[in-house]
A and B are shown apart, each in its own frame.
Chain A
Amino acid sequence: MKKVLSLILALSMMLGVVSFASAEEALPTFDKIVLGENTDLTAKIHFAYHRTDLGGEDGKLAGYVKKFNETYPNIEIEYELITDYAENALLRVGNTDWTIMGIPAVDQDELSKYFIPLGDLETMSGLYNFVSAKAYDGVCYGIPSTGGANGLVYNKRIFAEAGITELPKTPDEFIAALKAVKEKTDAIPLYTNYAAGWTMGAWDDYISGCATGSATFQNQDMLHMKDPFANRGDGTGPYAVYKILYDAVKEGLIEEDYTTTDWEGCKPMMNNGQIATMVLGSWAYTQMRDAIGGNHPEDVGYMAFPITVNGKQYAPAGGDYNFGINVKASYEEKLASLYYLKWLTHESGFAYSEGGVPINKGGEMPDLYAAFDGIEMVEQAPAVAGEETLLNELNSESELNINNGGNIKVQQIVEHAFNGDMEFDEIMASWNEAWSDAQETLGVEVNK
């Protein structure tokens, strides 16, 4: 018995020494990792991953491992592809049976319990997109492999025919462009897709990061904001987003009969130049381009939403899972993981081949984002601890349902603009009132 006890004691002391030792040797931050150094590094990485479609011996992942091993032959990488990733990863996040995993839905303030810091957020977000999603207290814990950003679909040929040489960057420029389209071409300047409903709710996506440039607007700031829909006076904010729609309708820049729009039918219309613009997420681009009955796939383009905040344009965006490295792994494993993540980010070309936004800024953009040069991608950070459900509750209580199926309120903008029975400022005032009432009902602290 004593022997066993002393053995345990000795072992735990050894472990203590080991962990003490590895803590002493400071890991380099992600940005300081230089590929091609430390090529004799020996470690084993267990990578928990959600993209089950990329596995197999000839799969993309196997190819990446092979290529990475050309430079780092002694780093062994083993992928574990998990179908029910979100739950599985959340259960295992505290274990030691993984080295790298896509960070599941743990609370932001618990990130440091499970993952090593990759660097301070300021440096990281200067170099990489979508790193703020898994950051806490100015420290970044994860880096994704690919991302997507939203803007609006437009027809390049129609824009050229209308004499629009530079893509509009502000609401005023956009309305002017729509007017030019109406004057000089036969195309519908802006197709609302009013009848489908959800296509109208898509406008909500632009009010946060895109219209404010802030990564905390939707899930943090707006919850405590007094009158989030108020006119900011400088063509930014949620007000400016919906104002574009209102003005376009009022100026007759949309389809004639918005109540009978046809979602399937609009795709070839966009492709063939019967429609100039449509406000939809980037996923819609390929659908318009490859539409059945469309003869001009090369004319379909994608541009940033026309709002400029302090001279800069932003695009609402989101990354895939951010990869984090297990804080309980050995020093070598951590270092090897850093090299592999760096390689994935810079050398693999994964984002490009997946048609997504590259993670390293300045990386190659797929065709879809040809017009996104110089536009900053903003991802909405999650809510702070204790307020995870507050947005949902405010949405429900106010019945505005922002980014949550609130199609009716956007449809009503079209109706009021067309019938001229309600000024835009009145609509926004009624939304502000609904929001304030909801805040009051739920006892939310409101910043003046």
Chain B
Amino acid sequence: MSITRAVQPDLRKKRVNWQKVAVILLFAIVPMFLLILFTYIPFIKMIQFSFYNMSYTKNRGFVGLDNYLKVFSKSEYVGAMLLSLYYMAGAVVQLSLALLFASILSLERIRGAGIYKAILFFPFLVNGIAIGYIFKYFYTRGFVLDSVLQAIGIPLEKLPYWLRDQSVNNWSLVFTSVWKYCGQNMVLFIGAIASIDPTLYEAATIDGANRWEQFKAIILPGIKTVFMLNLILSITGSLSAFEPAYVVGSMGANGTATFFIKIHQMAHVSGKVGMACAMAMVLMVLILIFTVLQRLFFRYVMRDSDNTFNAKANQAKALW
């Protein structure tokens, strides 16, 4: 009896385990298979292709690092990479605006806050190509933007050609990107702010902290993770900007071709697949570098505020 008793639970345990394993395997196999087939194999192939001089149909042999050297030796590619700086500047504005709107909409009691949220979030829901066409007309000489500016008293002659003049055209494109993604960032911020314990504000108010101090000491540390996420998304988005320049900027014409557009042209217009793969690799490494740099930078900066936050929180708790 005792033996059977001792064995039975063991057997049962094993049977359950096998089922579990089978289920886990079955569920894992499909996504793993897809992941490997459509992500990792192409990725490894891309690394391989980047060392060859090849088109879609012809492989003209191994060229070592030639493709990579070309990426860095041609001024047009370096220039295209530098265009990302416009988009990064835009990303800073975009995040600041999003944070501002999010704080106002969360902290103040505003009538119809929901409507404002919806209005600000709406652009993110519009298809990028459609946004492109909207802004094409928006920037056309004498159309929307010019009419609005004329209505507030700026004569047409003093206005630039928003897409033609190379001194402003990249800013025009960056604006479309800010317009589109600001709402998305804002919604993420609002979500993060909502998760902060409201008693902290009360405590801070009792302590005599004004809105700005509350923002600095409570909100900012409280949304650190989401802030980092938004920042990383914006910066990588800036490095691989494509839509605005492709649709509004006529496929990257007139000095608006970002590095991503150059990759597209290389692969799909000129058919130089090897070169395009090398460029994609460079872009990926750049994005990795920027992500790591950001993390390091903010770990350094946030450690400070983290401490203040914890200190204040402890203070508040102690008071209670």
Contacts and interface: CB of A to CB of B under 8 A. Distances in A.
A and B interact: yes
B55 A396 contact: yes
B248 to A, nearest CB: 9
A257 B164 contact: yes
A415 B253 contact: yes
Interface stretch (B11-19, B135-143, B199-207, B215-223): B135-143
A260 B172 CA distance: 13
A78 interface: no
B270 A260 contact: no
Interface string A384-411: 0000000011011101010001111001
B250 A399 contact: no
B246 to A, nearest CB: 10
Interface string A160-202: 0000000000000000000000000000000000111100000
Interface string A238-272: 00000000000000000011111000000000000
B269 A419 contact: no
B265 interface: yes
A257 B250 contact: no
Contacts of A401: 269-270
B163 A396 contact: no
A419 B141 contact: no
A392 B271 CA distance: 9
A411 B269 contact: no
Nearest to B166: A419
A259 B250 contact: yes
A257 B166 CA distance: 12
Contacts of B272: 396-397, 399
Nearest to B261: A408
B255 interface: yes
Contact of B253 (A396, A397, A411): A411
A318 to B, nearest CB: 23
Contact of A408 (B55, B141, B169, B265): B265
Q: Is chain B's binding surface mostly helix, strand, loop or mixed?
A: loop
A256 B253 contact: no
Nearest to B273: A396
Nearest to A201: B269
Nearest to B57: A389
Given A396-B270, A396-B271, A258 B164 contact: yes
A173 B303 CA distance: 73
B136 A260 contact: yes
B270 A259 contact: no
B107 interface: no
B20 to A, nearest CB: 54
Contact of A195 (B58, B250, B270, B271): B250
B175 interface: no
A259 B169 CA distance: 10
A411 B254 CA distance: 8
Contacts of B55: 393, 396
Nearest to B268: A405
Question: Which of A258, A260, A411, A412 has the largest count of B CB atoms less than 10 A from its CB?
Answer: A260
B251 interface: yes
B161 A257 contact: yes
B253 A194 contact: yes
B163 A259 contact: yes
B164 A259 contact: yes
A194 B250 contact: yes
B265 A260 contact: no
A430 to B, nearest CB: 11
A16 to B, nearest CB: 45
Interface in B143-181: 161, 163-164, 166, 169
A371 to B, nearest CB: 32
B254 A260 contact: no
A434 to B, nearest CB: 11
Contacts of A393: 55, 58
B290 to A, nearest CB: 28
Question: Which of A259, A392, A419 has the largest count of B CB atoms less than 10 A from its CB?
Answer: A259
Contacts of B163: 257, 259-260
Contacts of B136: 195, 260
Contacts of B269: 399, 401, 405-406, 408
A231 B163 CA distance: 32
A412 B163 CA distance: 15
Interface string B104-144: 00000000000000000000000000000000110111000
B254 A259 contact: yes
Question: Which of A195, A406, A415, A419 has the largest count of B CB atoms less than 10 A from its CB?
Answer: A195
10 contacts: A197-B251, A257-B141, A257-B163, A259-B164, A260-B141, A408-B253, A411-B254, A415-B255, A418-B164, A441-B53
Given A259-B164, A260-B164, 17 more contacts: A195-B250, A197-B253, A259-B249, A260-B136, A260-B140, A260-B141, A395-B270, A396-B55, A399-B266, A399-B270, A399-B272, A406-B269, A408-B251, A408-B257, A408-B269, A415-B166, A441-B53
In the complex, the 6 A-B pairs of residues with the closest C-beta atoms, listed nearest first: A259-B163, A260-B140, A195-B250, A257-B141, A411-B253, A396-B271
